[in-house]
Amino acid sequence: MSKDTMISYVNTFAYDLCSFLANVYSPLAGNLNFTVKNSTDFASTIASEEIQDHEIMVSFDVESLFTNVPIKGAVQAALQKMKNDAGLPDRTTLTPVQIVDLLDFVLRSTYFQFNGWIYKQQDGAVMGNPVSVVIARTTRHSHRLQVRHDTSVTLSATKGHRQPG
């Protein structure tokens, strides 16, 4: 099985809990209007944009978004956001610590069966987990300006000139 193999959380034991947690946590994701759904949405979004002489357009190609989510850091960030969320009591009676304990549990529950063997996904969040989407969005949002040494950056266009390749 490949290192990059991803598993699906759909129809698992904690799927409903994940949906609940996603609903509780998603308002903290903020306005993420810098994302697009697909290439058609991207083309539509930039059709009316004008790039000034002092600007460049950069596309950050996200590879393996879910499997690259740092679970420990994402859970710690979620706790900080929830401690400062005045609207949290309107969405749940759970405390921020209880919520992040549940988040940590479901984000680390990555066991799956394949060809009669039981495996555990070692890194990141799993596909099909509703809370993985929210965690990945907020993690990407909070780190969108931070480029780590192992992240590849692709320049899409610079004032009408395409990158060679």
How far, in Å, CA of 147 to CA of 149, rounded? Answer: 7
How far, in Å, CA of 25 to CA of 131, rounded? Answer: 8
Per residue in 30-51, pLDDT tens? 655 556 667 788 788 888 888 8
Per residue in 103-114, pLDDT tens? 999 988 877 777
Residue-level pLDDT at 20: 94
The answer to whether residue 162 scores a pLDDT higher than 70 is: no
The 8-class DSSP code of residue 29 comes to G
Domains of the chain by residue range: 15-55+62-145
The answer to whether residue 88 scores a pLDDT higher than 80 is: yes
Apex 120 CA angle, 100 and 28, nearest 5: 25
On whether the CB atoms of residues 135 and 78 are closer than 8 A, the answer is: yes
How far, in Å, CA of 132 to CA of 104, rounded? Answer: 11
